Amino acid sequence: MPELPEVEIIRLFLLPVLVGKTLVHISIRERKLRTVVDEHALAHASGHQIQDIQRLAKYLLFDFPSGHLVFHLGMSGNLYLVDPQKAYERHEHAEFIFDHNLSLRYRDPRRFGRIFWLSQKQLPQFALSLGKEPWDASLIPETFYQALQRYDKPIKNVLLAGSVIAGVGNIYANEALAYAHIHPKTSASLLSLTQCSRLLYSIRQVLSDAIAKGGSSIQDFTHPNGQKGYFQNYYIAYRRKGFPCAFCSTPIEKIVLAGRSSFFCPKCQPEIFF
């Protein structure tokens, strides 16, 4: 479900409600997620106030005085607020109860997500392991171009790996490449400065547009307030095999790259042979 825009939407909703609230109880109902949840470590947050909620790549960090309660939503995870009296729904694996009668529930049918604790000391190392944020001021066409020079593999694989630019998942990688008119298979090291510039612009544009439209609700993503996103109605490539290209009406094609479905217009995004 969630790529950067969906995670950011959750953050923006929870931020004004939860900052300043005190975490009074943690209940882990299913410890076996992508990694086993360490309840002892999470207990560092108990009894303390949330100071801020930040997003790093696709991770959500709830800042407490002694460290960070971190969520990764995997493919099907979601976080939302309910009344603590409300009966549990299927796949609600964790509950965080705050004062003012607030229950933050983590639901994740596929259990590919993670919940873990990061001490203040561990945060810098963790942040370094992630790529640059898409809107990082140091990310300009020239530095993006230089970073991509190091990768002799398809640009779409490089985007998904997240080591150059963080938070771009399969949907938005497909969309950004379509807007930038770049074939997903093009070797990252072969992109020109002009193409890199166009791609960087497209990534930022697609991500911010998705946030503005409430994200993508393909199957089950809903805003914590219960509303669905509608960015999926604006896809120009993703899941549009056989449908006409938005620019030239040529049918969109589909290939598999790094095990992920990749959609492109064969005319607007020509494959480059060398």
241 is annotated as an active-site residue? no
Handedness of CA 130, 105, 120, 22 (dihedral sign): positive
184 is annotated as an active-site residue? no
Q: Which listed residue (96, 106, 221, 264) binds DNA by CB under 7 A?
A: 221
Q: Which listed residue (140, 220, 249, 271) binds DNA by CB under 7 A?
A: 220
Q: CB-wise, 90 or 121, nearer to DNA?
A: 90
Q: Which listed residue (78, 103, 170, 269) binds DNA by CB under 7 A?
A: 170
Q: How far apart are CA 2 and CA 15, in angstroms?
A: 18
- As given in the structure block, the two tokens for residue 258 are 């790094």
Among residues 44, 45, 55, the alpha carbon closest in space to that of 22 is found at 45
Per CB under 7 A, the segment of 1-9, 44-52, 63-71, 190-198 that binds DNA is 1-9
Strand order from edge to edge, sheet including 78-82: 23-28, 92-98, 102-107, 78-82
Residue 184 binds to DNA (criterion: CB under 7 A)? no
Residue 74 binds to DNA (criterion: CB under 7 A)? yes
Q: CB-wise, 48 or 111, nearer to DNA?
A: 111
Q: CB-wise, 216 or 269, nearer to DNA?
A: 216
Q: How many Cα atoms within 13 Å fall on the side-chain side of residue 103?
A: 16
Exposed, middle or buried, 90 (CB in 10 Å: 0-12/13-18/19+)?
Answer: exposed
Minimum CB–partner distance for residue 75 and DNA (Å): 5
Q: How far apart are CA 68 and CA 72, in angstroms?
A: 13
Residue 40 binds to DNA (criterion: CB under 7 A)? no
2 is annotated as an active-site residue? yes
228 is annotated as an active-site residue? no
Contacts of DNA in 149-168 (CB under 7 A): 151-154, 157, 160, 162
Residue 136 binds to DNA (criterion: CB under 7 A)? no
Residue 48 binds to DNA (criterion: CB under 7 A)? no
Q: What share of the chain is helix, strand, coil (3-state, %, to 5)?
A: 30, 25, 45
Which is the catalytic residue, given 6, 8, 55, 58?
58
Strand order from edge to edge, sheet including 67-72: 52-56, 59-64, 67-72, 114-119
Q: Which residues pair with 114 in a beta bridge?
A: 72
First to last CA, the chain: 37
Contacts of DNA in 105-124 (CB under 7 A): 109-112
How many C-beta atoms lie closer than 10 Å to residue 237's C-beta?
27
Contacts of DNA in 234-263 (CB under 7 A): 258-261
Contacts of DNA in 188-217 (CB under 7 A): 215-217
Residue 131 binds to DNA (criterion: CB under 7 A)? no
- Residues serving a catalytic function are 2-3, 58, 260
Q: Which residues bind DNA (CB under 7 A)?
A: 1-3, 6, 32, 34, 57-58, 72, 74-76, 90-91, 109-112, 151-154, 157, 160, 162, 169-171, 215-221, 229, 232, 258-261
